[in-house]
Amino acid sequence: MLEAFGLSDPGCVRSNNEDYFISDSESGIFILADGMGGANAGEYASHLSAEMLYEYLLNSANQTGLEMLEHGFLEANWAVRQAAQANSELAGMGTTLVVARDIGEARLQIGSVGDSRAYLSSKGAISLLTQDQTWVAEVGARLGLSDEALKKHPMRHVLTMAVGSTEDLRISTCIVQMQPGDTVLLCSDGLHGVVGEKILGEALDSEKTLAEKCHYLVEAAKDEGGPDNVTVVLIKLV
């Protein structure tokens, strides 16, 4: 049985919240999106992509192959691109998208585009399940720059892939085998880009409830200045 809780906050700097999440324990579908674009375009992109993927997965409940998950991402990508083409005010919009989907036998499918992340907390250890599609991760690291230099690099927030940005979408996927007590964290870069993994791991491994952990993590990001919207979804196998 899965328990879940999600929380989103605009942070301390942004006036609007372009993050969006869906947490549906009954259907076992958990989605987080971090939009980008001028005016309200980022907010629109995150809502549209998440809802499109959610509806697709709901209607494909009996088809649990990774190729079906990937097709759901492509459907969301098509919807965002069509909306941008139909309305000039939405031109150039895009969004990250990360999903965790229950496929039975204590297994979760994970899929992602962009730099919103999924982590697994198991037996006191935290591990990253997704791969950032960013300039820093895909280009900067190959240039031999130090971790400290990469953290401060002016290109550190530049995505190399986003839903809505291209027809040739690259989707990272994996399957996670969970044990009772394990927790999966979905988060936007307003959390993982601000709060270190040590704090994330300690919070997830604590005796707090899922709701308390979500509030703690959001406040931890805000204590560090909250430069971006911050969204957290926790999924626990009980």
Encode 160-174 in three state secondary structure: CCCECCCCCCCCEEE
- Quick: pLDDT tens for 45-70: 999 999 999 999 999 988 999 999 99
Number of structural domains (the chain) is: 1
- Quick: pLDDT tens for 152-188: 656 667 899 999 999 999 999 999 999 999 999 999 9
Structural domain for 97, as ranges: 2-237
Sign of the CA dihedral 129, 134, 136, 138? positive
DSSP E strand stretches across the chain: 2-9, 19-24, 29-36, 94-104, 107-113, 117-122, 125-128, 172-177, 183-187, 230-237
What are the b/e assignments for 122-132, b being 16+ CB within 10 Å? beeebeebbeb
* Mean model confidence pLDDT for the chain: 93
Rounded CA gap, 27 and 222, in Å? 31
Q: What are the C-alpha distances in Å from 235 to residues 93, 102, 121, 154, 232?
A: 29, 10, 10, 33, 10
CATH assignment at residue 195? 3.60.40.10
Rounded CA gap, 54 and 82, in Å? 18
Q: What are the C-alpha distances in Å from 173 to residues 1, 55, 99?
A: 22, 19, 9
Residue 38 confidence (pLDDT): 72
Residue 26 confidence (pLDDT): 97
Instruction: Give the tokens for residue 62.
Output: 């009996």
Residue 61 confidence (pLDDT): 87
Rounded CA gap, 108 and 35, in Å? 24
